[in-house]
Every structure is written in C-alpha cells, then in structure tokens.
Structure 1
Amino acid sequence: MEAKRVSESRTFMTDLVLPPDTNVHGTIFGGRVMAYIDKIASITAMRHCRRAVVTASSDSLDFLAPIKVGEAIQLEAFVTWTHQTSMEIFCRIQSENLLTGEQRLTATSYLTFVALDDQGKPVVVPPVLPETDEEWWHYNTAAERRETRLKRRKERSAAAISYAH
C-alpha cells in the first residue's frame, strides 16, 4: 500500500466561542473542546484512509490555557503515525483574540482511530509519510506512545476483570 503524505489529510477548523459555549468563568467548556478534537481527528483519519473510522483511544488532552468568550478556537490535526489498522492523530488547539490578533497555544491532544470496512471490521490503512521536522518528530516518537497506550489498556482490562469477580 502506498504511503500518504501528512499534508494530504491535515485538517483545520475555526469557530467563534460564544456565551453558550462557556462556563461561569467565561471560558470554553472542556467538553466542548473535546468534542471539537474528536470531530477534527475523525475527519483527518477518514481523509488519510478514505474509510469509516472509530475512536479507539484518546491518549492525552493537555489544557494549557483557557479560551475566552469572544475569541476564536482554531484546531489543526494531522496523522502522525499508522500501524496495521490504526492511526495516531495529533491535534493542536489555539485561541485567537480577534480584536488584537494575539494567538496562543491552548491545548494539545493525541488520539487513535481504527479504520473499518463495510462490515465494521478493522481494515489495513496506508502508511504515513512525514514531510516537515515537526511531522518527523511526532512520527519518530509515536511507537513509544503506542507502547504506553497498549500497556495502559492491558492494565485497565486486567483491573476491570479483577473487579468484576
């Protein structure tokens, strides 16, 4: 299967943060940010494999700064690495003060998606071809994140079984 360049599935999304999107502090609800992340990562994964996908894991979501009402939320997502049927997606979230133009990094996230065939079974995905230094960094560090994710999944599965008995 031929590799696809990261740029072929890179996705951007921008929206205006309005009062219904915010908490009592006038900053966007974390759950709203999470929904944006899942949506943009889904689009990115589908662009990469041209298949239906499901979220397999939300590996991390680090909130770094709040996004205030009246600011724009800007998301960027791209495939960092692929395994047999899965894709790791990195998402960068920024805010923009639309009056001053000031932008700042507000959150980052890694998610894993699995591609599905028409019967809902996992299907092989194309490899990813990094092009920039940043893309190569994510690519070269992805195997370690995968090992951590698999270890965590195994530990939680074992814990769930032991608590069930």
Structure 2
Amino acid sequence: MSSSTFKSPEQSRVMLSILMLPSNANFSGKIHGGYVLSLIDQIAFACASKHSGHYCVTASVDVVDFKAPIEVGEMLTLRASVNYVGRSSMVVGIRVDSENIQTGESKHCNSSFLTMVAKDENGNTVKVPGLKITNETHVRRFARAIKRKQIKIKSAKEIAEANFSDTKYLEEFKNYNVQVKL
C-alpha cells in the first residue's frame, strides 16, 4: 500500500463545543446522559466518515464511562479521533470535557469508544484507509483498541458457552441482591 492509503488520526480528528442548556437537563438538573450519548454518536460518525471518505454507521458502543456530571451552563467539548482501523471498521475514541465558563474550571466527564463501519451508497461495507501511527499516543490507543477487541470476543465466547441454567448459579445468587422463587 502506498502512503496515500493511510491517514493519521490528526487528519480525521473532530472537535465539537456546545453550551449545555436547561432543555438538555434531566430531572436532577444535570445534563441528561442520553443527550451526551447522542452527541458522542454524532461526533463518532463525523470522525469516521472523515477518515473513510464514506458514510458510516455505528456498529457498537464498546465503552461509555460517565466520570462526572455535567451542569447546565457549562461548555461541553467533545474530541474524537480514530484509534484503530480494520478492513471496513474503525474504533473512534471520544473524550468529553466540560468547562464552567465563569470560573474556567474544567473536568473530564466521559470517555467513550465506538466501532463505526464505512458503507457505500448501496449499504455494502467498504475498505477504509489504514492508520498512520507516528507517536506513542497513537501506539497506546491502537494497542488498547486491540486489547478491548480481544476481551470483547473472549467475553462473548464465554457467555455463549456458559450453561446459565446450571444450579451452581443459584448458589452464587446468594451473594447478590436478588430473590429467587422458582
């Protein structure tokens, strides 16, 4: 492959800043997690489409970690970059920070990883450019994406192979907040 079939994460990086309004708040007065997830999905789409040059769809939301609440009136900034590419898929990492506009105090609110798949006009998957890795941050992000993928595959296999009707689970349930009445 020539170097033109590879793109650096910087070439497809996307950033979005948006003021958090009362209409985005939940019943507790904090910004609704579903609204943040919608923004995450939108920026992942933009980043993956920019990298691939094609329309992209969300294949999976692999990780969503809410770390701090977001307040009405804060400026929310989402940063997305392609961390990993397969043949037609890309893992987009998103970092969400909020800033109190009055005090300048900033906090890390969310980290997410979405797998996006490039599609052509007929809905068929298409090959995406490779990822050009040029620094230690790129290496770390690519390696972590591989590890998360391996763990996901192993976990799915273990769950598929488990016999959840086995009575050993009923014994284990005693350690959990559950009442079993069969």
Query: Is the pair's TM-score, using the shorter chain for normalization, greater than 0.5?
Result: yes
1:150 aligned to 2:153? yes
Partners of 2:8 and 2:49 lie apart in 1 by: 14
- Mark the runs of 5 or more structure 2 residues left unpaired by the alignment: 162-182
Contact 1:80 1:130 in 2 (8 A): no
Number of aligned residue pairs: 159
Which runs of 5 or more residues in structure 1 are unaligned?
160-165
Of 105, 108, 111, 1:105 maps to: 108
> Aligned runs of 1:1-165 on 2, under 5 Å?
1=1, 2-152=5-155, 158=160
Identity in percent: 38
Deviation at 1:129, TM superposition (A): 1.4
Return the alpha-carbon distance in structure 2 between the equivalents of residues 115 and 154 of structure 1.
26
User: Partners of 2:51 and 2:138 in 1: how far apart?
Assistant: 15
- Partner secondary structure for residue 141 of structure 1: helix
In terms of Rg, which structure is larger?
Answer: 2
Q: Deviations over 1:22-55 (max 9, x none)?
A: 0122210000000000000000000000001110
Deviation at residue 133 of structure 1 after TM alignment: 2.7
TM-score, normalization by structure 2 = 0.81
The DSSP-based 3-state class of the residue aligned with 1:53 is strand
After TM superposition, give the deviation of residue 154 of structure 1 in Å.
5.5
Matched AA of 1:46? S
Counterparts of 2:103 and 2:23, CA distance in 1 = 23
Q: Distance in 1 between matches of 2:51 and 2:67?
A: 28
Gap change, CA 1:52 and 1:127, over 3 Å in 2: same
Q: Return the letter of the residue paired with 1:24.
A: F
TM-score (normalizing by structure 1): 0.89
Coordinate RMSD, CA, aligned = 1.8
The Cα shift of 1:145 comes to 1.2
